[in-house]
Amino acid sequence: MTTAKTTTNRQDIERYIRVDHAGERAAQQIYRGQLVVLDKHPMGEEIRHMMAQEVEHLETFDSLINERRVRPSLLDPLWGAAGFALGVVTAAMGPKAAMACTIAVEEVIGEHYQKQAENLGEDEAELRTKIERFRDEELEHRDIAVDYKGREARHYKLLHDVIQTGCRTAIKIAEKI
Ligand SMILES: [Fe+2]
Ligand SMILES: [Fe+2]
């Protein structure tokens, strides 16, 4: 699928692990925040399923941070807090807004993982396989949110664009800091 190079730049790998760890920190907190509001809602089950997958993603990058001695983002607690706040606020706006948030976030993350997978060489085939699986799961989350009518949320376009701008900015920061 991807025509992989032979070797991957070490700095790229460290950057990927740092930013992915930060992103998954935020992701599982988004769903945790949404569940504060939507725990008893029929959507709760689906949100719990997505959260469980995000927790597994986070644990994977937690292990990679340790194994490869990558410095985590200095703003690690901030990413968790920001994710939680985003989850609570969008869920408080209603179940469709919560799903609109999921669509916006998962589109960005799916794209982000795709770019990383394309840049990982044969020497990182194992990491690439993991990232490709996570990409597929993020896109599944997006599809679930579309099925739950996230695109019918009030002010969908505005909400979607604001959240995506926030995510892209956070990615740029977490790659470096
Ligand atoms: Fe994830
Ligand atoms: Fe996800």
113 CA from centroid of ligand 1 (Å): 10
Mean pLDDT calculated for residue range 110-138: 95
For residue 130, the ligand closest to its alpha carbon is 1
Instruction: Annotate 92-120 with b (16+ C-beta within 10 A) or e (fewer).
Output: ebebbbbbbbbbbbbbbbbebbbebbebb
Question: Domain residue spans in the chain?
Answer: 10-176
For residue 102, the ligand closest to its alpha carbon is 2
138 CA from centroid of ligand 1 (Å): 6
Mean pLDDT calculated for residue range 135-159: 96
Q: Check if the beta carbon of residue 113 is closer than 8 Å to that of residue 132.
A: yes
**pLDDT surpasses 80 at 73:** yes
Mean pLDDT calculated for residue range 88-92: 97
Residue with tokens 């002010």: 155
**pLDDT surpasses 70 at 164:** yes
Mean pLDDT calculated for residue range 77-100: 96
pLDDT of residue 1: 55
* Contacts for 42 with CB less than 8 Å, ≥ 6 apart: none
**pLDDT surpasses 70 at 4:** no
pLDDT, one tens digit per residue, over 15-60 is 999 999 999 999 999 999 999 999 999 999 999 999 999 999 999 9
For residue 134, the ligand closest to its alpha carbon is 1
* Contacts for 167 with CB less than 8 Å, ≥ 6 apart: 104, 105, 108, 109
**pLDDT surpasses 60 at 130:** yes
Percent of the chain predicted with pLDDT > 90: 88
137 CA from centroid of ligand 2 (Å): 6
How far apart are the C-alpha atoms of 101 and 138, rounded to whole Å? 13
What CATH architecture does domain 10-176 belong to?
A: Up-down Bundle (1.20)
Residues within 5 Å of ion ligand 1, judged at the Cβ atom: 24, 27, 54, 57
Work out the mean pLDDT of the chain and round it to a whole number: 94
For residue 103, the ligand closest to its alpha carbon is 2
93 CA from centroid of ligand 1 (Å): 23
How far apart are the C-alpha atoms of 116 and 104, rounded to whole Å? 19
Report CA-CA distances (Å) from 75 to 13, 80, 104.
Answer: 19, 9, 22
108 CA from centroid of ligand 1 (Å): 11
Token pair listed for 77:
């607690």
Maximum Cα interatomic distance, the chain, rounded to a whole number of Å = 49
Residues within 5 Å of ion ligand 2, judged at the Cβ atom: 138, 141
**pLDDT surpasses 80 at 2:** no
| φ/ψ of residue 90, rounded to 5 | -70, -40
